[in-house]
Amino acid sequence: MQRLKWSKVQWRVYPWLSILFILALWQIVGARINPILISTPTAALSALIEQLQSGEMQVGFWQTAYTFLIGLLLGLVIGAPLGVLMGRYRIVESSLEIVVRVLYSVPAIALFPLFILAFGFGDEMKIVVVFLACVLPIAMNAQAGVKSVDNALIDVAKVFGGTERELFTKIILPGTVPFLAGGFKIAIGRAIVTTVAVEMITTGGGLGGMMSYYSNQLLTAEYVAPLIATVILSLLVYALGDSVERRFSAWRPRGTGSS
């Protein structure tokens, strides 16, 4: 067996030490004060196990994952082409950029009353809010990506007789991928925040609904368990985004990657 060298392993150890330290601190402080305030990791863990055994956690998790992923996916499917068109065609850019900028500065969550009127309290309303939160950063990054493509590369395609379609598929889109991945990662963060927030405000099921319910009951341990599940969901999708980005930027010189 190969001996593990501390000089190399240490960089994998420090993050876990840091997490352990925070958990220990939480345990020690939490055990000495009113359990309503911050509870303790052990109490949260046993609440989590209880919620898993009753099946409540699974229902909530999948409901949140569904809203979050569909909203995010819609944002990608609509935002990416929109941004690419804005980056490539001046008429699209000058028509839509002002709309995009204005909408970007409105917190999507603040618009949920309008969507309740239009869609009621169901999944559609939540998905629309999440979609709105993540479509704009994706579009804006795609736009910036297209504009960042080196003009000389566009000349290369033209001078060798490439069609507009070939210019798109072989030069512009591949050149935009790193920016798209960056926009996607920003969108993940916005989508998870918005999903949980809209669930909490409307007490409409999902992990956010659980958090809202248990915090009203002052059951802090039971409230912390879905919070942890939310973090895990977000980290999973984030890791997915990272691996897609790595797959498409294998050619990049080391140290200049955007991750």
Q: Are 144 and 87 in contact, with CB atoms under 8 Å apart?
A: yes
Start-to-end CA distance of the chain, whole Å, equals 33
CB of 79 to other proteins, least distance (A): 23
User: What is the amino acid identity at position 259?
Assistant: S
Q: Rounded to an integer, what distance in angstroms lies between the CA atom of residue 91 and that of residue 245? A: 30
| Residue 9, SS3 per DSSP | helix
CB of 4 to other proteins, least distance (A): 31
Binder of other proteins out of 158, 164, 231, 259 (CB under 8 A)? 158
Decide if residue 159 touches other proteins (CB under 8 A): yes
Decide if residue 161 touches other proteins (CB under 8 A): yes
Stretch binding other proteins (CB under 8 A), from 100-108, 135-143, 163-171, 200-208: 163-171
For the record, the structure tokens of 45 come out as 């863990």
CA distances from 251 to 133, 153, 183, 248 (A): 32, 17, 20, 8
C-beta of 44 vs 149, nearer to other proteins:
149
Decide if residue 175 touches other proteins (CB under 8 A): yes
Stretch binding other proteins (CB under 8 A), from 34-42, 94-102, 112-120, 148-156: 148-156
For the record, the structure tokens of 37 come out as 């305030």
Contact residues for other proteins, defined by CB under 8 A? 150, 152-153, 155-163, 166, 170-171, 174-175, 249, 251-253
